[in-house]
Amino acid sequence: MKHFATITVIGRDKTGVIARVTDFLFEQHANIEALEEQVTRGQFSMTLQASWKTGNCNPDAISTGLAALGQDLGMEIKMRLTDPKRRQRFAILVTKETHCFDALLAAKLNADPVLVIGNYPEFAALAKKHKLPYVHLPWVDRAKSEAEALKVLEEYEVDFIVLARFMKILSPNFVWRHKNKIINIHPSLLPSFPGPQAYRQAYESGVKIAGVTAHFVSMRLDEGPIIAQGAFGIRPGMTLKDIVARGQQAEAKTLVKAVKLYLGKHLDVFWGVVREV
């Protein structure tokens, strides 16, 4: 039997960070299962999966050592013990629209919704109906709201996040902490019509086929690895309102499909492209 942990390292880029962290884990008898790092505009970010054989893992000593190492490096280093066999816990981020939220709660997912975060207080009643805690963050000050969201996500031990038509842009600082663990639904067949007015763009462009895209959120807006897509025909005489209504049906269905693919461990992201395995 093995013990597993996810370790994140974030801070200003400097020489030797990877070596310092991996050397420390080697001293703690850890095996590195996976490691991914990136430098964006001088910001260093790394996510590392480590495992220990039974009897070789001392969580308190490892956490204390990583905290001391982070202080020495001037970086944020966090460790979270994980159990690959337990049911995944997920948070749902919302704004006003309810169709994707309703579909997620109605679907038979092999995971447990444990938290709802939204930028409007009105959504609290629907969350309460499903006996889910609701955290209202106005998202006027993005940095402040993201910091509070990250804190509560950690408190609820969230494994992945679903954006159920959450109409706010997440910063790289937020996204990296949950890389390839934030699933979004976009109302177009990406890469066509990125941005918030996708249905209007499709309507005004006169396209004959429109659709939706479920994708992992990346540092670049609406450019994350695509998980699933759904398409529908635009018939003569359809109004923008008709297209939006048809699109919302596709959004709910495709988002649920993407979450199921993710939970089924059928996805692998290779050089920014999702592959089914």
- In CATH terms, the fold of domain 2-82 is Alpha-Beta Plaits (3.30.70)
> Where along the chain do its domains lie?
2-82, 88-276
Asked whether 203 and 180 are in contact (CB, 8 A), the reply is no
Average pLDDT over residues 31-36: 89
pLDDT of residue 169: 92
Asked whether 162 and 89 are in contact (CB, 8 A), the reply is no
Averaging pLDDT over each range in 4-13, 120-129, 264-273, which range is the top one? 120-129
Of 254, 248, 257, 258, the C-alpha closest to 227 is 258
Q: How confident is the model at residue 274 (pLDDT cuts 50, 70, 90)?
A: low
Go through the chain and tell me how many residues it has. Answer: 277
Average pLDDT over residues 169-174: 88
Average pLDDT over residues 64-80: 93
Residue range 126-135, pLDDT digits in tens: 999 999 999 9
Q: Which CATH number fits domain 88-276: 3.40.50.170, 1.10.3720.10, 3.90.1170.50, 3.40.50.10160?
A: 3.40.50.170
Average pLDDT over residues 45-49: 89
* Cβ neighbour number for residue 209 with a 10 Å cutoff: 10
DSSP, residue by residue, 196-213? TTHHHHHHHHT-SEEEEE
Which range, of 44-48, 97-101, 146-150, 161-165, averages the lowest pLDDT?
Answer: 44-48
Residue range 130-164, pLDDT digits in tens: 999 999 999 999 999 999 999 999 999 999 999 99
Average pLDDT over residues 46-72: 89
Nearby residues of 267 by Cβ (< 8 Å), 6 or more positions away: 227, 261, 274, 275, 276, 277
pLDDT of residue 271: 46
- Percent of the chain past pLDDT 70, that is, above it, reads 96
Distance CA 129, CA 124 (A): 9
Looking at the predicted structure, is the pLDDT value of residue 118 above 60? yes
Looking at the predicted structure, is the pLDDT value of residue 270 above 60? no
Nearby residues of 135 by Cβ (< 8 Å), 6 or more positions away: 115, 116, 117, 118, 148, 149, 152
Q: Looking at the annotation, which residues are catalytic?
A: 222
pTM across the whole model: 0.85
Nearby residues of 277 by Cβ (< 8 Å), 6 or more positions away: 265, 266, 267, 268
Burial state string for 46-64 with b = 16 or more CB within 10 A and e = fewer than 16: bbbebbbeeeebeeeebbe
Distance CA 141, CA 136 (A): 13
DSSP state of 65: H
- Percent of the chain past pLDDT 90, that is, above it, reads 69
